[in-house]
Amino acid sequence: MTLELHQFPCLSDNYGYLLHDSASGETTCIDTPDAETYLREAEAKGWRITQIWNTHWHPDHAGGNAAIKAATGCTIYGPQEVSAKFPLDVVLAGGDSATLGGNTAQVIDVGGHTKGHIAYHLPEAGLAFVGDSLFALGCGRMFEGTPEQFWASLERLRALPAETTICCAHEYTQANAAFALHADPGNDALMDYAREIEAKRAAGEPTVPFPLGRELETNPFLRADDPDMQAHWGGDSPDETFAAIRAAKDSF
């Protein structure tokens, strides 16, 4: 394994990620919340930024594209929607792939938070960069997509190997846990997880990244087809149940 992942806080509650391949010397930025922080972190590591992989168009994900490209001459990959506001060199969509040295990332369509949101899954490294589609015990707000689209996206993420390490873009876990306990009362695995999260945050530790497997048992948004959740939240189909849970979280 020649990949090294560097995670660091950015802006108020974003996480920045730099992924470095020591064999080729290539480094990619996963999103660009803040150019200065990314350039400083890369320099401290001694890594040369050669790429940017955007997940969606929001400014706290693509706002640093121009400045990082100007400083490094890197190539910017991402969904078409990014190009409306920020520089983009290569358009990616679900089913495409991106490469960093000898490592391949499969691009997954995870639209719903924004219409064109994509995720990057590196099967050999067991890593997935999911932006604002999936959070620990939560998912992104549905700004642009439909419940059908968002639920289909979550089903695609849910189908990844359970041991996959999920790298999401925000530290929202504590607030998500409070809602999850409300949405799915009596879930013992969730109660254990919520206690661990509280202890980690009290100690100033990040709760991200996290394994997908645990989310399958505890994340209410990944459990919209669970009979108990459907009975509790209503809906004749998983996407209707998902819509009910998402609406409840928005006003929680």
Taking alpha carbons only, the member of 246, 9, 19, 11 closest to residue 129 is: 19
Compute φ and ψ for 60, nearest 5 degrees.
-80, 15
Closer by beta carbon to Zn ion, 137 or else 194: 137
Closer by beta carbon to Zn ion, 132 or else 215: 132
Tokens encoding 207: 């709760």
Count of alpha carbons within 13 Å of 105, Cβ hemisphere only? 29
Helix (H, G, I), strand (E, B) or coil at 134: strand
> Does 61 appear as a known binding residue?
yes
Closer by beta carbon to Zn ion, 20 or else 61: 61
- What x/- string results for residues 129 through 148 when contact with Zn ion is judged by CB under 5 A? ---x----------------
> Under the criterion CB under 5 A, does residue 170 sit at the interface with Zn ion?
no
> Does 56 appear as a known binding residue?
yes
How does strand 118-122 pair with strand 26-30? Answer: unpaired
Least distance in angstroms from the C-beta of 138 to Zn ion: 13
Least distance in angstroms from the C-beta of 61 to Zn ion: 6
Tokens encoding 239: 């996407």
> Does 60 appear as a known binding residue?
yes
By CB under 5 A, which span of 29-37, 93-101, 128-136, 204-212 interacts with Zn ion?
128-136
How does strand 75-78 pair with strand 90-91? Answer: parallel
Least distance in angstroms from the C-beta of 113 to Zn ion: 6
Least distance in angstroms from the C-beta of 115 to Zn ion: 12
Least distance in angstroms from the C-beta of 63 to Zn ion: 11
> Does 170 appear as a known binding residue?
yes
> What are residue 211's DSSP bridge partners?
165
By CB under 5 A, which span of 50-58, 118-126, 152-160, 241-249 interacts with Zn ion?
50-58
> Under the criterion CB under 5 A, does residue 58 sit at the interface with Zn ion?
yes
Task: Write the CA distances from 53 to 64, 88, 129, integer angstroms.
Answer: 12, 10, 9
Task: Write the CA distances from 57 to 33, 80, 113, 133, integer angstroms.
Answer: 11, 9, 10, 13
> Does 58 appear as a known binding residue?
yes
With CB under 5 A as the rule, give the number of residues binding Zn ion: 2
Give the annotated binding-site residues for Zn(2+).
56, 58, 60-61, 113, 132, 170
